[in-house]
Amino acid sequence: MIAFLTDPVLRAPFWGCIFMCIASSLIGVCLFLRKRSLLSESMSHATYPGATLGVALFALVFPNSEEWALVAILGGAFISSLLGLRWIDWLEQKGKVRADAALCFVLAVFFGAGLTIASAIQTKWPVWHKQVQMLLFGQAATMTDIHIWIYGSLAVVVASFFILAFRPLHSFLFDRHFALSIGVPVHLLERILFWLLALSLIVGIRSVGVVLMSGMVIAPAVAARQYSNRLHTIFGLAALFGALSAGVGNYLSMSVNLPTGPAIVLVGTTFAFLSLLFAPKKGIVFRWMRILAFRLKTVEENVLKGIWRHGALCDASSLTLKLALWRLQRAGWLDAHLRLTLDGSAKAATIVRLHRLWELYLTERLGYKAEQVHQTAEEMEHILTPEMEQRLTQMLKDPKQDPHQQPIPEKK
């Protein structure tokens, strides 16, 4: 790792990619929250025809100055991406085309045009074709120290914009119409964001490439969103995930001999995938665990309620029921003979009380018939909190019977 910080060959790709990923990740948060993630994909592909045409024109005018071709590439890519953005806006506003259709159309047309120009370059100027191929997947390994300053400046500009305009951005990202109503310069913010996106994509194709750049814009934002609902936290986590993706991707590319750009995007995608699975609040795995825990809790409470009503358990053959009985015994609510303990009896009476209170609430306050409320009460009895029980008791004036004339157990 020391070599990645000091070695003149390794430090430029390492630091350059880190700064590039930080800048693109911050912009990706805005696109992700505005549900315009496909915009980065369309604009990154829209850079390709301009970049290839820039190479072709440069080869025609300056055939012996290959080292300066990057200027023509970036200039052509920038113009091409802005044309793509203008075309998207025209299709959506004037052509009344849906946003997703307009984005996909521009992506396909511009990228197809770029491939056509690249084929012509391969035929006429095969030496220059490697410059075109570099645009597809990037060539981070050949960066120099000047790229550190370029990408560092981009990261500073992007981060400064988000810090200075955080409050207007906050209202704009979550409620555009509200932001307009309170005088936030929404159109100016949109224009600045699009320019920063275009600039990040243009600069980023040198390291990650046209095909993969959109993944680096969106993947850190997807990962960060799983951990927080607060905007400043999402920005910070996205920048962190972007920097880690660049650092780990560079390390893997050098250690395992992988292309740097694809390695960075794969690492970023892995962070996003793992976050979707294992984020504590929103992760799929933890959601499944909470669902299973609630279902098991429902079975346990139904067992207690059934024993309280009937005095015994009829069938205990299923695996879920056996697990529920074991947990109830461990909690001290059932004894070794599957009879209710004092605590278990009090818990069962509470469940029955919540069930019958809710039935009475539905019939007296919402006008349901007595025969219509049982199933709803079967579901609500498991989620009513003590505070809600107290409110129901006060609202119904501490009732003693449910709609079916059955006694409501006293609160214990």
pLDDT digits (tens, 9 = 90+) for 154-193: 899 999 999 999 999 999 888 888 889 988 998 899 889 8
The residue type of 173 is L
What is the average per-residue pLDDT within 88-113? 87
Q: Residue 255 to residues 5, 242, 249: CA-CA distances in angstroms?
A: 15, 20, 10
Task: Kindly report which listed range (85-94, 228-237, 289-298) carries the lowest average pLDDT score.
Answer: 85-94
Tens-digit pLDDT profile for residues 21-53: 999 999 999 999 988 888 888 888 888 888 888
Structural domains of the chain, ranges and CATH numbers in brackets? 7-282 (1.10.3470.10), 288-395 (1.10.10.10)
Amino acid at 63: P
Contact between 300 and 293 (Cβ < 8 Å): no
Region of residue 399 (left: phi > 0; alpha: psi -120 to 50; beta: else): beta
Region 270-292 average pLDDT: 94
Taking only the tens place, the pLDDT of each residue in 318-367 is 888 889 999 999 999 998 888 899 999 999 999 999 999 999 999 999 99
Angle formed by the axes of helices 260-278 and 231-256, nearest 10°: 130
pLDDT computed for residue 364 by the predictor: 92
Alpha carbon of 408 to those of 12, 294, 348, 381, 388: distances in Å?
A: 74, 25, 12, 13, 16
- Hey, what are 249's tokens? 């991707």
> In Å, what is the CA distance from 28 to each residue of 36, 84, 131, 170?
9, 18, 27, 15
Interval 73-102 mean pLDDT: 85
Q: Is the pLDDT of residue 118 over 90?
A: no
Helix (H, G, I), strand (E, B) or coil at 345: helix
Model pLDDT, residue 68: 66
pLDDT bin (cut points 50, 70, 90) of residue 67 is low
pTM above 0.85, yes or no: no
